[in-house]
Structure 1
Amino acid sequence: MSDQDITTAPNTSRLTATELDTYRKALKGEELDPANPVLLDLIGRGMLLPNTHDIGTYVPTPYTYVESQLTAAVQRVLAHATEALAGIPAHVRELEAEQQRYNYCPSPVGTLLLPSVPDVNAETIRTIQTAEFEILTAQPGYRKPKVLKGALPRDLEAAKRGVAVRTLYRTSGRMNATQREWVGTMTQAGAQVRTLNEDFLRLIIVDRKHAFFEVYDEDGTVQQAAAWYTQDRAVCAALAAHFRLQWERADVWVPEANDWVPEQRDGEEPHRERQTLTTKTQRNILRGIVAGKNHKAIGKGLGVSERTVTAQVGKLRSALGFETVMQLTHWWATSPERLLQ
């Protein structure tokens, strides 16, 4: 049912001063101009009728009749509107089925599937070029030199025009020469880069109102060529909050200043983890201390007791020959082990 099929509701508004004046003249039996638009409107609304016994005059319709006619007319409109309202779900489901059949999402403010690399590139480039104040990027995987070099002019332009660019890489990215070159150029332009030695979501968030994120299959695998694009502010805010959590736990990357590439010993496989002074638990404890957490909060986050955290800190201090936690945190800030998981 279309809107043309729904009957228009009658005019049930009160009479204006001009209409009331014309209505009163009719009650007095005065002769009225048959071409008067006010008169014609009153006749059309069923309030006046031509007087067949006295041409040129008009008689009022009984008010009880007017009431019943208007009420009936409005009820007919409501019945048609109710019928139309009841038909909306079936109509929408039909459209939804057709859109799902072709994997199409028409809403520009909802979530749109970008099924291929060209689609993802085109939309991310367009969005980044319109960035006003912030670009947050999390890249957990290996980025090919061709991709990095192609993205550099776009990213550099955004940083140079004052957009705050923050990028998060995996720690292994520090061993990628092209990536180090990208980071060096971007940080000189004012961008900030950090690395994290653990898994995190691949994200691009622009101005907290545009977000691109990975497409997961039902079995949890990631579709490498596809991405979701959303302008849903709640989703963008949630993803930005996730990015902030990872960012706060990551290590600053300024090439040449604190870069670290492990050396390879004779007969050793490339990048194999060597013997360390710290255990994984101790490294997580140290990260918690640097983040300003007390031993109780650190233990809660790691699933151990406060006493265990204190014991581990003491054990590490003894192993390193330090007397204070301050000495320990200073060592940690400059140690390559902070880049380990």
Structure 2
Amino acid sequence: MPGTTPTQMCDIEMETYRRALRGELLKEDEPGLRNLLARGVLVANPFHHGIYVPAPPHYLETQLHASVLRSLTAAVEEFAQIPAFVRELEAEQQRHGQPFSPAASVHLRSVDAVNAETIRTTMGASREILTAQPGFRSTKVLKGALNRHMEPARRGVTVRTIYRASERGNTDQSQWVAEVTAAGAEVRTLSESFPRLILVDRAHAFFEAFDEDGVLIPKTAWYTQDRAVCEVLALYFYTGWERADPWLPDAKDEYTGDTGAEHKTTKLQRTILRSVVAGRGYDQIGKDLGVSERTVSVHLSNLRNALGFKTLPQLTHWWATSPERLLS
């Protein structure tokens, strides 16, 4: 068997190479000889028929570098053509009224792949973009996503986003909300946990990927064009949307610590208390809300002090009998 790559030699090729090094006469049909010549490992001696000499190391290294580089360049060019090829076939399917296969789901395995597909679909949206973003988003990510929300909204596309309630205290996030809502988008917040989701025109869906043990696979996502799946995910999104609170940048709200004259608790404190009585630890509550464990503890301590209680059991007993437990 010949070597499988430019930098590998099989046993037969290695034996032929050694014979050449010993100065033996080699026949033109010697096993492995043709492949060694083609790769530049051996060079024919023009003055002695049947004698082959090894290529100088620096020359061989240069040749191998060039060969591998050509292969890499060809592979990268081929890789870059994949999206265009798939889009061409997709367009032909649409022209002929061919529905997408229910199994047409793709696991996008890198941030670049996820970004490329979400940008393509959101910027091409014609009716609706629904997104649920449960995690913290850096200033860089927010800037990158700004136009993807504003441009469709200005074209009349319905653009709706759900964030965690804890993000209301994020200055960069608040500025982002102010800009997208000015363009016509809508933003709401939930004080409960929810998965990341992007839906475009009920025809494209991106959602989180998990391994067999149910552990989130970071920096990846599933992408599907299955219309039935998209409709179910849209229904799920709007279930959360109806429970969520509008985020109006200039309005005062309970998340900032303003409980209102008639309430002793903020919405975030009520959410934390419900989790506490459900038996959830501070660390898990923090993960659900997108805040630190210490932040959860501080919210409970502030409320306990405001009510004049010394212990958490006193606070939870008050909560169990308080009319505020019925508030949203």
- With normalisation by structure 1, the TM-score equals 0.48
Paired residues for 1:2-81 under 5 Å: none
The amino acid across from 1:202 in the alignment is R
Is residue 224 of structure 2 the alignment partner of residue 196 of structure 1? no
Match of 2:238 in 1: 244
> Is 1:140–2:134 an aligned residue pair?
yes
Pick the aligned partner of 2:115 from 92, 109, 121: 121
Q: Give the structure 2 partner of residue 81 of structure 1.
A: none
Which secondary structure does the structure 2 equivalent of 1:215 belong to?
A: coil
> Matches of 2:317 and 2:157 in 1, distance apart?
37
Q: Which amino acid aligns with 2:256?
A: V
Larger gyration radius, structure 1 or structure 2? 1
Residue 275 (structure 1) aligned with residue 303 (structure 2): yes
How far does the alpha carbon of each residue in 1:255-279 deviate from its partner, in whole angstroms, 9 at most, with x for none?
121344249xxxxx656213178x9
What is the aligned partner in structure 2 of residue 131 from structure 1? 125
What is the CA deviation profile of residues 232-255 of structure 1, one whole-angstrom value per residue up to 9, with x for unaligned ones?
011101111110111111111111
Aligned partner of 1:244: which letter?
Y
Secondary structure, counterpart of 2:228 in structure 1: helix
Give the length in aligned residue pairs: 181
- Per the alignment, residue 316 of structure 1 pairs with 323
Q: TM-score, normalised by structure 2?
A: 0.50
Residues 280 and 205 (structure 1 numbering): CA distance in 2 closer, same or farther, change over 3 Å? Answer: farther
User: Are residues 1:217 and 2:178 paired?
Assistant: no
After superposition, the C-alpha distances for 1:33-75 in whole angstroms (9 at most, x for unaligned) are xxxxxxxxxxxxxxxxxxxxxxxxxxxxxxxxxxxxxxxxxxx
Question: Is residue 261 from structure 1 mapped to residue 289 from structure 2 by the alignment?
Answer: no
User: Conserved in 1, the CA contact under 8 Å of 2:196 and 2:207?
Assistant: yes
Question: Counterpart amino acid of 2:114?
Answer: V
Cα distance in structure 2, aligned partners of 1:270 and 1:235: 37
Distance 1:111 1:130 in 2: 19
C-alpha contact (below 8 Å) 2:160/2:187 kept by paired residues: yes
1:145 CA displacement: 1.0
Indicate if the aligned counterparts of 2:132 and 2:162 stay in contact, CA closer than 8 A.
yes
How many percent identity over aligned positions? 52
Name which of 144, 155, 170 aligns with 1:150. Answer: 144
Q: Using the alignment, how far apart are the partners of 1:154 and 1:168 within structure 2? A: 15
What is the Cα deviation at residue 163 of structure 1? 0.5
Over the residues paired in the alignment, what is the CA RMSD in angstroms? 2.9
Indicate the SS of the match to 1:225: coil
Say whether the 8 Å CA contact 2:132–2:196 is kept in structure 1: yes
Bigger mean CA deviation after superposition, 216-225 or 206-215: 216-225
Contact 2:188–2:247 (CA under 8 A) maintained in structure 1: yes
Distance (whole Å) between structure 1 residues aligned to residue 109 and residue 220 of structure 2: 5
Q: Following TM superposition, by how much is the alpha carbon of 1:282 offset from its aligned partner in structure 2, in angstroms?
A: 11
CA contact (8 A) 2:150 2:184 kept: no
